[in-house]
Structure 1
């Protein structure tokens, strides 16, 4: 399988893996967090060991780009480790493992949230919906905005798990609608300290600078985690330009790499990135990267804890290697979710908020 994949890729496999939160207590965190964002420190270490055992050489994003562009040849298959969102868990639990094993990595930061006490909108919504279910909340749908009514009805009816309902919701609605839904839910649930999730805190700039000193790289992930294909182009321009400027100022580095929120992109977004001096951008499309491929549509495999659990619930090295080598994809048992989307104007975004919705593919935050 590996030999065939190398042939298809143009000579060498270039695997880019993506993580969000590496945690110390997976079982405890699972009770209060979005499951698909979590991986235990032990399983994360197992992934890195499994990648080495499978013959991969860990590389920086720049080294991988050089191989893709034909600027240098690779003697082994390459693996690039990436993290989205800048969760503090990465500093606490992934950073020590990476240092110990000598593995390079890049973290994509939502620049305006780093160093603050804010939480991501998806974490806030997950937490608030969980509180609503726990309290047995019964909404008055006639006085709720349509988007909030739809989300609450889906969750409280028990038709869909909270994380799956959020996938659909975030896939349809721009950030302003998410913020309005959060406001409405907080208002209906009443004041109280339990309305802000205690988990999901982000790095501060001192932690970022500490990792920079050890040679770890950082890229941009918008200012506040906006799905750019949902936004008008003036918002896209600001999110790209200002996120780059903030990270460069605070971390003292040059930012040239970007991660699309949800993995979604458009030709218009790519043009904004090029205009602002970026050299690459990563998606969440689980497909092979090919020699000569587009550096602004880099493919990634998004991983979490359950990708490595065997039938008995234990860590399975064999299953992990099958996942990393995309055995199931090659057998046609799993297909990628495409990331290319139409760029929405302000008018069309408003239509999505107020009009009927279809069934979007699953989102990787």
Structure 2
């Protein structure tokens, strides 16, 4: 696909801004929008950090499956436009303490821990000098051929990739008892720590489902922050246990959708158009 020029990009963002609002800005499988997110529109900043959210990098025709060649096109765009990947620790140090970040910082995340994250995404990201954070469903790692093995996870960790929890079983937490939720949070954290030798600090809600009680349980389980699937950027007024991300989906014009989602987020947030 031909690259989108700055002028064309401006027209795309402005021309499709309301389509984006209708199609993706009100992504809300969350039970509540809690904490500081509720009144954030007035204080949103163009210095907020984009957090991309991927799942699969393969050629299956599914909304969560980005073909490898299209994923590489997206990574090439980020590289050519001066983006630098950061870690969740970098993000939280910036949000909480004003730590200086590299120019045009971006956090790239994957949910679930699919095998193609290793076979397809990993070499592409290494090519462009990028890293990512992958949230693992621990009961599937090493036990299901569709998902990575712990040896593969350890290899990626050596190259600077970060691994967090996506629970043990990927069950929506709002459908579980309090005891079951805590088991999912604690046992997944313990398994990652056992396999990698370091305690995971970060969590992503399976299916995006959470509420205030679950946020508090995530905190009690020892996680430093948690990520949702709510469209938006992470800023100083974000709730650290309900951090926004920019979901990336496959579609008829995947790169155009990626471009708009990435570049429209600051505009939509500034006008309060993507806040519940």
Question: Structure 1-normalised TM-score?
Answer: 0.59
Deviations 1:83-107 (A, max 9, x none): 0001101110001111121111110
Aligned runs of 1:49-64 on 2, under 5 Å?
A: 49-64=76-91
Which residue matches 1:240?
185
Which residue matches 1:271?
216
Match of 1:207 among 152, 155, 164: 152
Distance 1:327 1:296, change over 3 A: closer
Deviations 1:115-164 (A, max 9, x none): 113xxxxxxxxxxxxxxxxxxxxxxxxxxxxxxxxxxxxxxxxxxxxxxx
1:83 aligned to 2:113?
no
CA RMSD of aligned residues (A): 2.6
1:324 aligned to 2:256?
no
Contact 2:165 2:189 in 1 (8 A): yes
Aligned runs of 1:20-59 on 2, under 5 Å?
A: 20-23=55-58, 26=59, 29-30=60-61, 35-59=62-86
Contact 1:307 1:323 in 2 (8 A): no
Which residue matches 1:109?
136
C-alpha displacement of 1:8:
5.3
The alignment of Structure 1 onto Structure 2 pairs a total of residues equal to 235
Match of 1:19 among 36, 51, 54: 54
Deviations 1:251-290 (A, max 9, x none): 2222010000111211111111111211011000002322
- Secondary structure of the structure 1 residue equivalent to 2:238: coil
Contact 1:220 1:244 in 2 (8 A): yes
Aligned runs of 1:286-305 on 2, under 5 Å?
A: 286-305=231-250
Segments of structure 1 that go 5 or more residues without pairing to the other structure are: 118-199, 310-314, 339-365
Which residue matches 2:94?
67
- Secondary structure of the structure 1 residue equivalent to 2:51: strand
Counterpart CA distance in 1 for 2:83 and 2:223 is 27
Distance 1:8 1:44, change over 3 A: farther
Counterpart CA distance in 1 for 2:239 and 2:113 is 25
Counterpart CA distance in 2 for 1:331 and 1:259 is 22
Deviations 1:46-90 (A, max 9, x none): 112223444432211111111111331335332100000011011
Shifted more, 90-99 versus 10-19: the winner is 10-19
Counterpart CA distance in 1 for 2:138 and 2:269 is 40
Greater RCO between the two (CA within 8 Å, min separation 6)?
2
Distance 1:40 1:259, change over 3 A: same
1:259 aligned to 2:259?
no
Distance 1:299 1:331, change over 3 A: closer
Contact 2:138 2:192 in 1 (8 A): yes
Distance 1:228 1:337, change over 3 A: farther
Contact 1:85 1:221 in 2 (8 A): yes
Counterpart CA distance in 2 for 1:234 and 1:225 is 16
- Secondary structure of the structure 2 residue equivalent to 1:273: helix
Contact 1:285 1:336 in 2 (8 A): no
Distance 1:39 1:11, change over 3 A: closer
